[in-house]
Every structure is written in structure tokens, then in C-alpha cells.
Chain A
Amino acid sequence: MGNPAENFKRGKRGKLYLQERLLQSNHSLVKNDMRKIGLSTQTGYVGKWLDISKYLPRRTLDRLAKKWMGFQAIAVAMLVPLIAFALLFRAQPILTAKSLRELLLGTNWHPLKQAFGFYPFIMGTLWVTLTSMVIAVPPSLMTAIYLAEYAPKRIRALAKPLIDLLAGIPSVVYGVWGVLTVVPFIRNHVAPTLERWSSFIPLFRSDNTTGYSVLAGGLVLAVMVFPIIIAVAEEVIHAVPQDLREASLALGATRWQTIKFVTLRKAFAGVMAAIALAFSRAFGETMAVMMVVGNVPQAPSSFLDSAYPLTALIANNYGEMMSIPLYDAALLGAALLLMLVVLIFNITSRLVLVRLMGHF
């Protein structure tokens, strides 16, 4: 263990090589010996009865598997444009009846009077999403930097699965948490405090006293996108070559200078992609948001106002009162708009990440 010459012989490559060579002989005595010196005798073999290759020539099997998987991949990939076309087709009536300007900037939403202005809902979505970004981005980036640059291996290994776990919680659970905790907290603490100390700032002033607000939606969404930003940004930062950090450190730079001027600069595109990915996630989130934002069709002008995001509009109304002319088309038009925005952000950020890291 102490002698470098021995280490050389006992190196990892040597061990694997030995294991391979020994396994080739496949003799029970050899296997016993291997177990004694701590080498694994397992191979990738799955057991005789499971092995279809007995019945089909392996090459044919391989080709079939490849074709089948290729077909599935194409089918899944085709779903997205198919859905987009279906939406476009169904939204066609409203797109021909109203101008785009009227739809996007119209402030009136009265389906019975044939007024379909998305503006309040678009603003609702933007307010809630941007609020969540403002709340989520700084702490997530700090966490990502900490995990990638400072955390000991053990903490990193512990934190990453926990963060992934957070990402897997169903959004309705976040919504319930929002209703039970966030909304009352805003109603009882945040709103009164802001009222007392900073009501001169219009952004913090509102006559909505319910707690169901942009801020509640933003907070819930922020918690939901933490894991996305942390996981992706951490990976991007971690992927910056160690030699680059050393180049900076070797010039006498501190850790923090190195992170600020070299590592983060190198990882900039990837970090932006992480944020864009989170943005698209927040933009399209439905359940958790509509449970806490109040769903009042108005363009908010304060964090404490209620809002009515596009997603909530569709989820709350689709399938009801469908006899109203153009109503169905209007809602699907909103869905198309949502889908386009989410797709653009999502695809762009994924392309950046693929270029940067070779996957995602």
C-alpha cells in the first residue's frame, strides 16, 4: 500500500485487466481464487432462460431492437409538432375572426360578448413567472456554485439526489402547501408589513387582502424551479475544466475571483440556459399556480394583486360553456401561445446545453 512500485502494479487498470483475463478462463477454481483476492466474478450475463438470443440470431435481434427503438423515438418526437398543428387547427377560427393585436393586447375578456382579450392573462402569467424568477434565481445560483465549487464530495453526493427528489414532487402538492402555508403567511404577515412600511411603493400596494396573489404564485413557483436551476447550473459549472480554474488560481487569484471571472464566465451560456429552462417550466406550470394566485382576470400592478395566468384560464374553463361561439377556439389559441413560448425557451436552452455538455 505504501510502496509506489506496488501501487503501480495494483493500479485500477491492472485489476480490471486481471479480472477480464481470469474470467475468460471461466474455471470454478479460478473463480474461487478471484473471490479470495477480492475480484468480482460477475459478468453482464442475465441467466439462461431470459436470453432470447438462443432463439433468434443475435444480429437479427440487434437490428430489430434498433428499428423498434428508432421508431419509438420518432413517434415521440413527432408528438410535439402534431400537438402544435392540432392546436393551430382548432384555434384557426379565432385567429381569422380577430386580429393578433386585438387578441394579445385586448384587455376585455367577455366570451358572451365575443370579447377575447388575452392581455390580462398574459400579464398574469408574466408577473407570476418573473416574480418566481426574481425569487428563485439568486439562491439557486448560490447553491449551485456552492455545490459545484466549495462543497465536499460527500455533501455534493448527498444533495444531488435530494434536489432531484424535490423536482419529482407532484405540483398539486406544492399547490396545497401554497394554500395552507404561503397564502396565509402573505395575508397575515407579508401584506400587513408591506402595507405599514412600504405602501408608498406602488409595487407593494394593493387592496387585495386575501393573500391569494402574484407573490404567492411566485413563491410557490420559485420553490418548484429551485431544483431545475440548481441541478442544471451545478452540472454546467462543474463541467468547467479543472485546469482552467488552476490557470486562474496559479496567478494568485482567490477562489472567489476565480469563480467570478473565469468559471462563471465560462459557464455563462449554460447558466442562462438553466434559467431559461426554469422560466419555461414556471411559465407553463398550471396546477400549483392556479391554486394560489386568486384567478381574478385583471392585469396585476402589484405583487399583492391577484392574477389569472393563461394556464389557469385554460384549465378552469376548457370544457365548459363550449356552446359559446369562438370560446373553444380562443382557449386553444391561448394554449397555442403558451406552448410556443414554452417550446422556444425550452428548445433554445436545451440546444445550448447540448452544445456545451453533449447531453440534455
Chain B
Amino acid sequence: MYDPHIRINKWNVWYGSDHALVNITADIPAKGITTIIGPSGCGKTTLLKSMNRLLDEMAGTRVKGQVWLDGINIYDPGVDVTEVRTRVGFLAPKPFPLPMSIYDNVAYGPRIHRHTLNSRGGNDHDLDGIVENNLRAAGLWEEVKDRLRTSATRLSTGQQQRLCLARALAVEPDVLLCDEPTSALDPIAAQKIEAQLQALKKERTIVVVTHMLRQARRMADYVILLWMGELVETGPAMQVFVNPRDERTRAYLDGDIG
């Protein structure tokens, strides 16, 4: 039907004894935007973090199943986690700028991969182009081009979130995972992020977790609906939104739950 970029196969996650994700099987198609929707606590973030192994950073998790990325199960013991995360970027709900300048935030990824970063930052000026391009791609360039060397924490929240987007893009991931990327932002800032993601989906696979149904309708090409840790329905947005197969999907879309 379509070309899957990530295949999630019989995927289970436990937090201690909590079975947070139960036997999830779903495909993330290459390119386009896949949205993961569902009521609060249903496991959206858990599923998203499963896809670049950020889940490893949480204490007490246990997993079973496979997550295939370009034909490799990223949970194979031999897999290099940093390589996975380089290919699969992540944008958190709230912006967390690194404690350094705007420029250094964007250059951070390229620098750690080139090993040119030292404790005083780097001074490799060929990164100028990369920094500019990614700030443009995140729609932030015009606002910060005159103060690239100032601390990133002085930006507004909306600007910080776009900086985080630029920072994620600078390592050139094939897949970008976004966990409620606009939930901390005002409508205008949110709209800017949405527009950037729309523009990016032509070249990249983007997965967006959202609890805003309207946002999902606006952005989604494909949809995954979770419900208390289980997958309820997945498919092209048109099909899921217009002609849902599952009763629970219908209830969720009608706003009866969640």
C-alpha cells in the first residue's frame, strides 16, 4: 500500500509492572506526517520515544517486540543508540535550549558528530552555513540572525521551540519525532511550528503526537489511534477521520472520550 519507514511489530512496553503499550503493530510510512492521537495517558509519548530509544533513558522500563528502522531492528543488542538517534530526531513538548548560545545550540549536533566540540564550544566557522540553513528551515533566522552569539535561554518560548526544531534538523535526521510540539505555545507560535513541519514533510518522515484533534486533522497524512496502551486504528488520515472502522475511534472523534 505504502512504503513503511518504521515498522513497529508486536511492541510492548512496561513501566515496572504497568503494561503501558500492549502488542502494538503499526507502520510509519516514509515521508508525510503520521499523527499519533489518543486520550491522555494512552501511551503516545511512550510509543514515540520507543522509535529513537529515548525510552532507554527512563528507569525501570522493559520492552518486548521489534521496532524496525530501514530494515534494522533498533532494539537489537548490537545497535549503536547514538546512530539511531542521529537518524531519528526528537522534538519535546517543551523547549529545552542547551545552556549555550543560539549558534552553539544549532551547531551542537554537527559538532558532537564531528568531535570538534570542546568545553569552550567550537570555533569551526564552516558551520555558519549549516546553522543559517537550519534556522531558516525552522523559520527563526530572520528573528535571530543579529544575535546568534547570545544565550538561547533569552528567546521567547515560541522562538525556543523553533530553535529546538532547528537544532534537531541540523543533524539531518530522516525521521523527526514531535511530542505535542505546540502544546506549550500560543496559537501564533504554534501555527509557525505547524507550518514548518508541513514544509518539512516533503523530504522527511515526520511523526507528531498531538492531543488536539483539530491539529491532527489539519496535519495528518496517516493516523495512529491509541487507547489505553492498545492500538485501536491506523491508516491514511482520510480513512480514519472520515470512515473509522472502530467504534472507539468514532467515539474519540466525536469528542465523547479523551
Binding site for B on A (CB under 8 A): 1-5, 7-8, 153, 241-254, 257, 260-262, 265-266
Chain B residue nearest to A258 (CB atoms) is B112
A243 to B97, CA, bound (A): 10
Can you list, as one digit per residue, whether each of B167-194 has a CB less than 8 Å from chain A (1) or not (0)? 1100100000000000000000000000
B90 within 8 A of A: yes
How far apart are A13's CB and chain B's nearest CB, in angstroms? 12
Chain A residues with Cβ below 8 Å from B92 are: 243, 246-247, 250
Partner of B86, one of A4, A252, A262: A252
30 contacts between A and B (CB under 8 A): A4-B19, A4-B230, A5-B228, A153-B59, A242-B57, A243-B92, A243-B94, A245-B57, A246-B54, A246-B92, A247-B92, A247-B96, A249-B85, A250-B52, A250-B54, A251-B85, A251-B86, A251-B109, A252-B83, A252-B109, A252-B112, A252-B171, A254-B112, A260-B119, A261-B98, A261-B117, A261-B119, A262-B98, A262-B99, A265-B99
Chain B residues with Cβ below 8 Å from A253 are: 82, 108-109, 112
Q: Would you list which residues of chain B between 72 and 116 have a CB under 8 Å from chain A? A: 82-83, 85-86, 89-90, 92, 94, 96, 98-100, 108-109, 112-113
How far apart are A3's CB and chain B's nearest CB, in angstroms? 7
Partner of B90, one of A7, A8, A245, A250: A250
With A250-B89, A252-B82, A252-B83 given, is the CB distance from A257 to B228 under 8 Å? no
Chain A residues with Cβ below 8 Å from B19 are: 2-4, 7
With A8-B41, A246-B54, A260-B119 given, is the CB distance from A252 to B113 under 8 Å? yes
Knowing that A250-B52, A253-B109 are A-B contacts, what are 10 other residue pairs whose CB atoms are under 8 Å apart, sorted by A's residue number? A3-B19, A244-B99, A246-B57, A247-B167, A249-B54, A249-B57, A252-B83, A252-B85, A260-B119, A261-B117
Chain A residue nearest to B20 (CB atoms) is A4
B229 within 8 A of A: yes
Chain A residues with Cβ below 8 Å from B100 are: 265
Counting from the closest, the 3 A-B pairs by CB-CB distance are: A252-B86, A250-B90, A4-B229
Number of residues on chain B facing chain A (CB within 8 A): 37
Chain A residue nearest to B82 (CB atoms) is A252
Chain A residues with Cβ below 8 Å from B57 are: 242, 245-246, 249
Chain A residues with Cβ below 8 Å from B17 are: 1-2
- How many pairs of residues, A versus B, come closer than 8 Å at their CB atoms? 87
A110 to B171, CA, bound (A): 69
With A2-B19, A265-B99 given, is the CB distance from A248 to B108 under 8 Å? yes
How far apart are B241's CB and chain A's nearest CB, in angstroms? 25
B26 within 8 A of A: no
Q: Which of A7, A242, A262 has the most CB of B within 10 A?
A: A7
Chain B residue nearest to A242 (CB atoms) is B57
A61 to B126, CA, bound (A): 70
Chain A residues with Cβ below 8 Å from B18 are: 4, 7
B67 within 8 A of A: no
A254 to B112, CA, bound (A): 9
How far apart are B81's CB and chain A's nearest CB, in angstroms? 8
Chain A residues with Cβ below 8 Å from B148 are: none
Chain A residue nearest to B88 (CB atoms) is A250
Does the CB pair A251–B83 fall under 8 Å? no
Chain A residues with Cβ below 8 Å from B52 are: 250
Chain B residues with Cβ below 8 Å from A265 are: 99-100, 119
Can you list, as one digit per residue, whether each of B20-42 has a CB less than 8 Å from chain A (1) or not (0)? 10100000000000000000011
B69 within 8 A of A: no
Chain B residue nearest to A257 (CB atoms) is B112
Chain A residues with Cβ below 8 Å from B108 are: 248, 251, 253, 261
